[in-house]
């Protein structure tokens, strides 16, 4: 059976005090859940404190970005090995905000993906189309290009140690969620695409949906056959909502 995962993406939110309160409530609310079903991806400066809060709990943690380089004169960058020093399980790569606001192309994303795996962490690889791309009917081409960049660089086998997040850009932070059917259609397409390379890898990979997942729509999204959980932005900052979503994504 595929591993289910609900991962919070805090983006550039939080403070030491707020994080403590949020995590205390999430730990309590998800008590009894299996280890690894629920994760939070936090801003770099909080990794140390999040590690000490979560290390003896069932919740795992990660970062939201990483450098494609292993070390050197790259002012302001953070390497995957540094994330490993804080026992991160995950690093998100290729989030649409990184692609659109910080100019990351699919080649750079593939390099980041490999850097994360080389350090022994799991990349959460984000793919997804913009509204204009959906409206012009090129969703499948866009997602294929984003995926192929990674498969071409790291090989299909690498997906055994990765998570994919399908995040339609038009649904991120907008309150406009893809319907379960719309999301399922693209998830199934992604899985079929991977199956063309390797059927077992396709069957085993966890594919998350992201984009305005809320407490009141998570269960119906996660009930779809190819949706294995979610990558949660805004709702991961509200303990009660995130707990409800984590519970909906349990396996």
**Active-site amino acid positions:** 95, 167
Which residues in 124-183 contact ligand PGA (CB under 6 A)? 167, 172-173
- Give yes or no for residue 249 binding ligand PGA (CB under 6 A): no
Alpha helices in 61-105 (DSSP H): 80-85, 96-101
Smallest gap from Cβ 19 to ligand PGA, in A, equals 17
Query: Which of 122, 128, 129 is CA-nearest to residue 205?
Result: 122
Smallest gap from Cβ 230 to ligand PGA, in A, equals 8
Measure the CA–CA gap between 66 and 93, rounded to whole angstroms.
7
Measure the CA–CA gap between 2 and 19, rounded to whole angstroms.
30
Smallest gap from Cβ 139 to ligand PGA, in A, equals 17
Q: Which is nearer to ligand PGA, 128 or 201 (CB)?
A: 128
Which residue has the CB atom at the shortest distance from ligand PGA?
233
Q: Which is nearer to ligand PGA, 14 or 156 (CB)?
A: 14
Binding mask 193-232 for ligand PGA (x = CB under 6 A): -----------------xxxx-----------------xx
Which residues in 55-94 contact ligand PGA (CB under 6 A)? none
Q: Which long-range contacts (CB under 8 A, 24 or more apart) does 159-162 make?
A: 159/194, 159/198, 159/201, 159/205, 160/201, 160/204, 160/205, 161/117, 161/122, 162/113, 162/117, 162/122, 162/123, 162/124, 162/125, 162/205
Measure the CA–CA gap between 107 and 52, rounded to whole angstroms.
34
Counting residues that bind ligand PGA (by CB under 6 A) gives 13
Smallest gap from Cβ 171 to ligand PGA, in A, equals 6
Residues making contact with ligand PGA (CB under 6 A): 9, 167, 172-173, 210-213, 231-235
């Amino acid at each position: 059976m595929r591993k289910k995962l609900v991962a919070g993406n805090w983006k550039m939110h939080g403070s030491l005090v707020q994080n403590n309160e949020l995590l205390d409530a999430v730990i309590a609310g998800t008590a009894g859940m299996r280890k690894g079903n629920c994760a939070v991806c936090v801003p770099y400066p909080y990794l140390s404190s999040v590690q000490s809060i979560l290390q003896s709990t069932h919740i795992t943690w990660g970062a939201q970005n990483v450098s494609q380089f292993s070390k050197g004169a790259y002012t302001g960058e953070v390497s995957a090995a540094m994330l490993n020093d804080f026992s991160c399980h995950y690093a998100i790569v290729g989030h649409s905000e990184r692609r659109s606001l910080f100019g990351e192309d699919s080649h750079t994303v593939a390099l980041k993906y490999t850097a994360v795996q080389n350090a022994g962490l799991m990349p959460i690889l984000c793919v997804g189309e913009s509204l204009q791309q959906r409206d012009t009917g090129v969703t499948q081409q866009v997602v294929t290009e984003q995926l192929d960049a990674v498969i071409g660089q790291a090989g299909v086998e690498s997906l055994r140690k990765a998570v994919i997040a399908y995040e339609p850009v038009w649904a991120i932070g907008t309150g406009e969620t893809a319907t379960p059917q719309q999301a399922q259609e693209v998830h199934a397409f992604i899985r079929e695409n991977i199956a063309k390379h390797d059927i077992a890898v396709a069957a085993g990979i966890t594919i998350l949906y992201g984009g305005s997942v809320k407490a009141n729509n998570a269960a119906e999204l996660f009930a779809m056959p190819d949706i294995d959980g979610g990558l949660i932005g805004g709702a991961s900052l509200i303990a009660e909502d995130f707990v409800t979503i984590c519970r909906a994504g349990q396996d």
